[in-house]
């Protein structure tokens, strides 16, 4: 479909392009609705998995930190053992009781340092065992989530594959019809569509009221809608209005386009 200058496009052509765009978007919505909550479930699972992986990473960092503490305490033990060896050797060369008492106290102090270091090492190792248990629990949960995600992704990919050709064609038509609508009008269409629960921004008039509305449209406005000279908005629903004949013609046109594509 060739792109036209907005000044060359009549209001009726814009209305047709808008309704065509609405038909295409509604068909895309139907396709996406067949996937139900699967896309949300997949996204939620991916977020949960990322959170669990981060949790495991943090727990492993805790273990690394505890191992650093153990290493430091082993260094304390090593230094104290070296000092004890040194002081014990010096005891053989002492000449008075004062020196003997002093060295004995130093040896006792270093022995206490070793005892305290060993106690702390035991505490750190116990903490590591507890963290490792947590990691195992989180990993088990993570494995379950990954398995579930794989299953859900497979389901979703199957659904996407079934409709990918049709969806690609519809998206192409969205681009083509959008080119016939000026940016300001297209922006209004997208705003109305986004605010609508059913995704409808353009509706036809049937039995004197906008589709989906119980409010009757005044006769004069009905005439204006049928003339297709203005972009008219339903004052109750806020949706763009087109006449029933135009709507039927565009539905047939789009259906024929889709049949030709198949």
pTM of this prediction? 0.62
pLDDT at 92: 82
- The domain defined by 38-165 folds into Helix Hairpins (1.10.287)
Domain ranges of the chain: 6-33+182-261, 38-165
Asked if residue 27 has pLDDT above 50, the reply is yes
User: What are the pLDDT digits (tens) for 202-248?
Assistant: 999 998 899 988 889 999 999 999 999 999 999 888 999 999 999 99
User: What are the pLDDT digits (tens) for 119-168?
Assistant: 999 999 999 999 999 999 999 999 999 999 999 999 899 888 888 888 89
Mean pLDDT across 26-53? 92
Contact 193, 174 (CB under 8 A): no
CA neighbor of 230 nearest in space, from 220, 242, 219: 242
pLDDT at 13: 93
Percent of the chain with pLDDT over 70: 97
Q: What is the mean pLDDT of the chain?
A: 91
Mean pLDDT across 9-28? 93
pLDDT at 7: 55
Maximal C-alpha separation, the chain:
124
Asked if residue 1 has pLDDT above 80, the reply is no
pLDDT at 262: 65
pLDDT at 44: 96
Q: With bands split at pLDDT 50, 70 and 90, how would you rate the model's confidence at 3?
A: very low
Q: Distances from the Cα of 182 to the Cαs of 1, 3, 22, 44, in angstroms?
A: 16, 11, 15, 38
Asked if residue 24 has pLDDT above 60, the reply is yes
User: What are the pLDDT digits (tens) for 73-90?
Assistant: 999 999 999 999 998 888
CA neighbor of 12 nearest in space, from 249, 227, 239: 227
pLDDT at 247: 95
Mean pLDDT across 170-183? 91
């Amino acid at each position: 479909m060739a792109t036209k200058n907005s000044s060359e496009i009549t209001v009726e052509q814009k209305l047709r392009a808008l309704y065509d765009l609405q038909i295409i978007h509604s068909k895309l919505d139907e396709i996406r609705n067949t996937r139900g909550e699967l896309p949300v479930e997949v996204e939620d699972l991916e977020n949960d998995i990322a959170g669990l992986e981060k949790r495991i990473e943090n727990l492993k960092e805790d273990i690394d930190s505890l191992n650093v503490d153990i290493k430091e305490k082993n260094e304390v033990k090593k230094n104290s053992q070296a000092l004890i060896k040194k002081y014990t050797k010096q005891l053989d060369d002492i000449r008075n009781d004062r020196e003997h008492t002093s060295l004995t106290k130093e040896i006792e102090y270093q022995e206490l340092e070793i005892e305290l270091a060993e106690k702390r090492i035991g505490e750190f190792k116990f903490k590591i065992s507890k963290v490792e248990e947590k990691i195992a629990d989180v990993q088990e949960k993570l494995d379950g989530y990954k398995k579930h995600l794989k299953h859900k992704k497979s389901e979703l990919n199957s659904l996407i594959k079934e409709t990918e050709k049709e969806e690609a064609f519809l998206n192409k038509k969205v681009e083509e019809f959008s080119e016939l609508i000026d940016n300001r009008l297209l922006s209004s269409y997208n705003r109305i569509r986004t605010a609508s629960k059913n995704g409808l921004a353009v509706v036809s008039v049937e039995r004197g009221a906008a589709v989906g509305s119980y409010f009757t449209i005044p006769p004069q406005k009905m005439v204006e809608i049928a003339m297709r000279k203005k972009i008219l908005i339903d004052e109750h629903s806020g949706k763009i209005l087109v006449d029933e004949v135009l709507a039927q013609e565009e539905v047939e046109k789009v259906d024929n386009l889709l049949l030709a594509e198949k």
